[in-house]
């Protein structure tokens, strides 16, 4: 599961697109208690049982269909529907990376070992967002390398296809996605989705994702992209000047979701720039709890940048 949390930077354009307008329309139970959040790994176990049954390649699709897809949880069903994955996609993936999939036999144990850390991280969310609500978490196995994760009306769908040491940081991914849930429930779905439509800009996307990045850091102390954060801090003035010149562009360019043209630049710096803007707002606020609510409620991205005071520090240098 190399660079597990690169997923955080590539899924945002589809986040919550199938949610209803209100909580009552969600097709899952929400809870206010971090200890009661469902962490469901049935799909992972079904996949691993199917994997153990694979012998003659001509029967792989039938086995994957019967033992994995036909037994899908609500989370996996939504994942398959949204991505339009069929048994053939998994057969092709296993053919190319069978050893990688075999290594997933340790995944249920590794996920179980992370449960305490995950619930502690969710408790951290509850501390800064007292009315936070939490969705069930469905752990899945997907056909693409790495990992992916996004909220849906059925819960958080976390698809994992590789296993390495980054599993120890899965709580960061879950908190990041949970913050997006709080954003959507705070501003409403029409407003939430407008950042991918009429309000779309590099600045808006960066602040939206930077808010989730910063609040994840605030609640867990962990970075989802530490290399990029350190790089931006070290080169902040120059990067800010470049960002400021491009922030009104509708598309994110080199700042998000693709490999930058400069090979020395880490990807997804728009997330970090947004996080630094949000961090400045939070640090300058006297009422920290209100500041968190303000961050979840952002709809005027240019206005928020001005209120943050972030740009002012570069005028002094």
Give pLDDT tens digits for 120-154.
999 999 999 999 999 999 999 999 987 777 788 89
Question: pLDDT at position 6, please?
Answer: 46
User: Are 139 and 39 a contacting pair, CB within 8 Å?
Assistant: yes
Question: pLDDT at position 273, please?
Answer: 95
Measured CA to CA, the distance from residue 15 to residue 288 in angstroms comes to 27
Strands 137-140 and 39-40: parallel
Q: pLDDT at residue 24 above 60? A: no
User: Are 106 and 41 a contacting pair, CB within 8 Å?
Assistant: no
> In sequence order, what are the residues at sequence separation of 6 or more whose Cβ sits closer than 8 angstroms to the Cβ of residue 302?
203
Q: pLDDT at residue 91 above 90? A: yes
Mean pLDDT, residues 186-208 taken together: 89
Q: What are phi and psi of 262, to 5 degrees?
A: -80, 115
Question: pLDDT at position 277, please?
Answer: 97
User: Are 39 and 118 a contacting pair, CB within 8 Å?
Assistant: yes
9-18, 83-92, 141-150, 305-314 — which one is most confidently predicted on average?
83-92
Question: pLDDT at position 12, please?
Answer: 41
Q: Which of 38-42, 73-77, 251-255, 273-277 has the lowest average pLDDT? A: 251-255
Instruction: Report residue 214 as tokens.
Output: 């910063």
Q: How far is CA 46 from CA 51, 64, 92, 151, 174, in A?
A: 9, 9, 18, 22, 22
Q: Which of 36-40, 173-177, 188-192 has the lowest average pLDDT? A: 188-192
More confident residue, 104 or 262: 104
Measured CA to CA, the distance from residue 220 to residue 211 in angstroms comes to 14
> Can you give the residue ranges of every domain in the chain?
4-187, 195-315
> What percent of the chain is modeled with pLDDT above 70?
91
* pLDDT band for position 262 (cuts 50, 70, 90): confident
């Amino acid at each position: 599961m190399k660079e597990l949390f690169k997923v955080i930077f590539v899924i945002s354009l589809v986040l919550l697109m199938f949610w209803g307008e209100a909580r009552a329309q969600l097709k899952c139970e929400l809870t206010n208690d971090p200890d009661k959040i469902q962490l469901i790994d049935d799909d992972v176990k079904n996949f691993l049982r199917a994997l153990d049954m694979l012998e003659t390649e001509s029967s792989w699709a039938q086995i994957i269909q019967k033992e994995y897809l036909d037994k899908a949880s609500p989370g996996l069903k939504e994942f398959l529907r949204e991505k339009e994955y069929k048994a053939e996609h998994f057969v092709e993936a296993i053919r190319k990376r069978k050893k990688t999939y075999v290594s997933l036999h340790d995944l249920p144990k590794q996920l179980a070992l992370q449960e305490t850390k995950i619930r502690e991280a969710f408790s951290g969310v509850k501390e800064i967002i007292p009315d936070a609500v939490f969705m069930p978490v469905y752990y899945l196995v997907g056909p693409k390398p790495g990992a992916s994760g996004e909220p849906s009306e059925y819960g958080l769908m976390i698809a994992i296809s590789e296993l390495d040491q980054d599993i120890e940081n899965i709580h960061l991914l879950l908190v990041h996605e949970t913050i997006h849930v709080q954003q959507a429930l705070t501003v409403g779905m029409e407003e939430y989705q407008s950042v991918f439509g009429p309000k779309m800009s590099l600045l808006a996307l960066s602040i939206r994702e930077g808010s989730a990045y910063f609040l994840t850091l605030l609640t867990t102390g962990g970075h989802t992209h530490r290399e990029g954060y350190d790089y931006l801090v070290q080169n902040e003035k120059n990067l800010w000047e470049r960002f400021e010149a491009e922030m009104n562009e509708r598309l994110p360019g080199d700042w998000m979701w693709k490999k930058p043209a400069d090979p020395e630049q880490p990807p997804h710096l728009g997330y970090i720039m947004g996080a630094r803007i949000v961090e400045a707002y939070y640090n300058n606020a006297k009422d920290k709890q209100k500041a968190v609510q303000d961050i979840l409620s952002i709809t005027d991205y240019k206005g928020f940048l001005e209120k943050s005071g972030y740009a002012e520090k570069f005028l002094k240098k």
